[in-house]
Amino acid sequence: MSADCPLCSAAGQDILWQDDFCRVVLVGDPDYPGFCRVILNAHVKEMTDLAPTDRQRTMIAVLKVEDALREVLNPDKINLASLGNLVPHLHWHVIPRFAGDRHFPDAVWAAPRNPAATTETVADLRPRLIRALTARLGPSPE
């Protein structure tokens, strides 16, 4: 854990699922209400800093989040990104994309091209995403 890392603490995050290794958080972006992050609970900078079994465990979690988002939202595409340029704490962005969404066809971090077109809200999606994640990852340990 790093005291100056905003991802080391889960405080203030909308956690959909978690275990001792990682957590899945709902970002809460109104343009992308299904935008999730998979965040490792340990302060690790790069995938290659992990043991091979932990690399696999990370990617299994990312892919199960992708699968849950596909079931719940039926997006045209899922974007996966592990950047960490500003916060060097290993985390993956899992972003459902739709043709004509606010930034389509560019990355969600680009300048918007289109008017907001989202009809789903985070509040509407949250319980459905929790159910889909729990079905794939199992219940969050207490």
Domain boundaries, the chain: 14-137
Class of the domain covering 14-137 = alpha beta
pLDDT tens figures, 84-140: 888 889 999 999 999 989 999 999 989 998 887 777 777 889 999 999 999 999 998
Tokens of 88: 């060097």
Other C-beta atoms lying within 10 Å of the C-beta of residue 124:
11
DSSP string computed for 24-56: EEE--BTTBTT-EEEEESS----GGGS-HHHHH
Interval 3-39: pLDDT, tens: 788 999 888 899 999 999 999 999 988 888 899 999 9
Give this prediction's pTM. Answer: 0.92
Q: Are the C-beta atoms of 80 and 91 separated by less than 8 Å? A: no
Kindly state the tokens that stand for 33.
Answer: 């209400």
Q: Which DSSP symbol is given to 65? A: H
